[in-house]
């Protein structure tokens, strides 16, 4: 089988989880990844133990830019290379997880009659999966109501695959607090914006030092991201005794298990992980993503009373005000925690893996 796509952790880690689940069911499976050259999958996939080939491909910019001039050449190059990969590897099934590279690879697979499966992580699908959906044999989704975008008869509601260590968190609050150097007897707020960081969340935290001075009992683990380490670890908020600001979080399972409240972006992967963690969350959707899909992801949880949401534009005004109010409201936290945990789907990777194997077995010799 070939798994294609990537660009962000939200595409890559579910793809690896699917590959691991296929291997668990069929250890003899021969799995190859295809990604976009220069993107994080070219590093993360080999670390997970799978071979990967890269395509010269990138996204089409929605505004007029010189970068779009190279897009047709990249697309032609990627289609040509995808044909060579498929001719050489001869897959029985191709899986697309969204992202630049899945478009050319899945298009070639479809044209050659190879069964294809799409995995869509978000409540509002990306353009690549929307374009491929009409010809896909199966589309595995994480949200209800996706027949608005895809043929209903092809849909399977599976949820998003989550890494095993975050699906079954066994660490205790005390272990997490010890790891990060905080007091488990006091309230703990965990704020993060992904591995690279989120500028507006960081700016909101930096602007609210006074709110944390007024509540020295509230401890904060603040992940600023690699891009913003120099700027925000030196700000006043980061220097407060009740704040731990760092570029990267080593041990997300420990951070999740110790937190009383979590503030984060609402990417599909983060949401799926928090469903397993079962922690009250406040989502601040990124405004810089295609079709504003993070807002739609968050709203899907808000409608089920499983999370709270703050618009990105209101982050400075509300980030700590709303977080501290939730920390002080135990009943509300218990409700959000119970409702978000109900949405976790622990067998997502296995369900998708079994569909992949079924399609492979149905392939023409």
pLDDT confidence bin for 69, thresholds 50/70/90: low
In percent, the amount of the chain with pLDDT more than 70 equals 94
**Could you read off the pLDDT of 274-289 as tens digits, one per residue?**
999 999 999 999 988 7
The pLDDT value given to residue 123 = 85
Strand, helix or coil for residue 221: strand
Residues 142 and 170 in one domain: no
284 annotated to a ligand binding site? no
Strand, helix or coil for residue 220: strand
Strand, helix or coil for residue 71: helix
249 annotated to a ligand binding site? yes
Residues 156 and 26 in one domain: yes
Total residue count of the chain as it appears in this document:
365
- Mean pLDDT, residues 59-64 taken together: 52
- In which domain, by residue range, is 189 found? 166-342
Residues 286 and 171 in one domain: yes
Segment among 2-6, 55-59, 296-300 with least mean pLDDT: 55-59
CA distance 325 to 328: 5
pLDDT confidence bin for 71, thresholds 50/70/90: low
Residues 100 and 187 in one domain: no
Residues 155 and 253 in one domain: no
299 annotated to a ligand binding site? no
Residues 97 and 200 in one domain: no
- Mean pLDDT, residues 208-214 taken together: 97
Give the CATH number, domain containing residue 107: 3.40.50.2000
Cβ 122 vs Cβ 293: under 8 Å: yes
200 annotated to a ligand binding site? no
Residues 153 and 14 in one domain: yes
pLDDT confidence bin for 59, thresholds 50/70/90: low
Residues 155 and 27 in one domain: yes
Whole-number average pLDDT of the chain? 91
18 annotated to a ligand binding site? no
CA distance 111 to 106: 9
CA distance 108 to 82: 7
Pick 109 or 64 by higher pLDDT. Answer: 109
163 annotated to a ligand binding site? yes
The answer to whether residue 112 scores a pLDDT higher than 90 is yes
Residues 201 and 286 in one domain: yes
59 annotated to a ligand binding site? no
CA distance 96 to 33: 10
- Mean pLDDT, residues 325-352 taken together: 96
The pLDDT value given to residue 70 = 59
Residues 108 and 242 in one domain: no
How many structural domains is the chain composed of?
2
Residues 193 and 337 in one domain: yes
Residues 142 and 212 in one domain: no
195 annotated to a ligand binding site? yes
The pLDDT value given to residue 107 = 93
What residues contact residue 283 under an 8 Å CB cut-off, 6+ apart? 263, 264, 265, 266, 271, 294, 297, 298, 301, 307, 308, 309, 310
Segment among 1-15, 67-81, 206-220, 343-357 with least mean pLDDT: 67-81
The answer to whether residue 299 scores a pLDDT higher than 60 is yes
pLDDT confidence bin for 68, thresholds 50/70/90: low
The answer to whether residue 62 scores a pLDDT higher than 70 is no
What residues contact residue 200 under an 8 Å CB cut-off, 6+ apart? 284, 287, 312, 315, 316
């Amino acid at each position: 089988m070939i798994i294609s796509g990537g660009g962000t952790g939200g595409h890559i880690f579910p793809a690896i989880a699917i590959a691991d689940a296929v291997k668990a069911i069929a250890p003899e499976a021969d799995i190859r990844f295809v990604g976009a050259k220069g993107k994080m999958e070219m590093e993360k996939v080999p670390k997970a133990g799978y071979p990967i080939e890269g395509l010269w491909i990138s996204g089409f910019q929605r505004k007029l830019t010189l970068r779009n001039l190279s897009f047709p050449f990249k697309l032609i190059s990627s289609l040509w290379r995808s044909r060579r990969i498929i001719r050489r590897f001869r897959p029985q099934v191709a899986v697309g997880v969204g992202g630049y590279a899945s478009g050319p690879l899945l298009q070639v697979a479809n044209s050659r009659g190879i069964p294809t499966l799409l995995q869509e992580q978000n409540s509002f699908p990306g353009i690549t999966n929307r374009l491929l959906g009409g010809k896909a044999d199966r589309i595995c989704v994480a949200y209800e109501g996706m027949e608005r975008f895809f043929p209903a008869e092809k849909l399977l509601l599976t949820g998003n695959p989550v890494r095993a260590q975050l699906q079954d968190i066994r660490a205790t609050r005390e272990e997490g607090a010890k790891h990060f150097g905080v007091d488990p007897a006091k309230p703990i707020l965990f704020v993060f914006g992904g591995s690279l960081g989120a500028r507006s969340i960081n700016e909101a935290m930096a602007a609210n030092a006074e709110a944390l001075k007024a509540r020295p009992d509230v401890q904060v683990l603040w992940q600023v991201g690699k891009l913003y380490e120099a700027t925000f670890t030196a700000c006043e908020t980061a220097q407060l005794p009740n704040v731990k600001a760092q570029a990267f979080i080593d041990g997300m399972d420990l951070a999740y298990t110790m937190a009383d409240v979590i503030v984060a972006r609402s990417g599909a992967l983060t949401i799926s992980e928090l469903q397993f963690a079962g922690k009250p969350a406040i989502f601040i959707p990124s405004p810089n993503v295609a079709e504003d899909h993070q807002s739609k992801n968050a709203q899907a949880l808000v409608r089920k009373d499983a999370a709270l949401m703050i618009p990105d534009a209101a982050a400075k005004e509300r980030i700590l005000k709303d977080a501290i109010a939730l920390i002080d409201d135990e009943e509300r936290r218990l409700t959000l925690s119970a409702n978000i945990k109900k949405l976790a789907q622990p067998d997502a990777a296995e369900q998708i893996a079994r569909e992949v194997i079924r399609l492979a077995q149905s392939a023409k010799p």
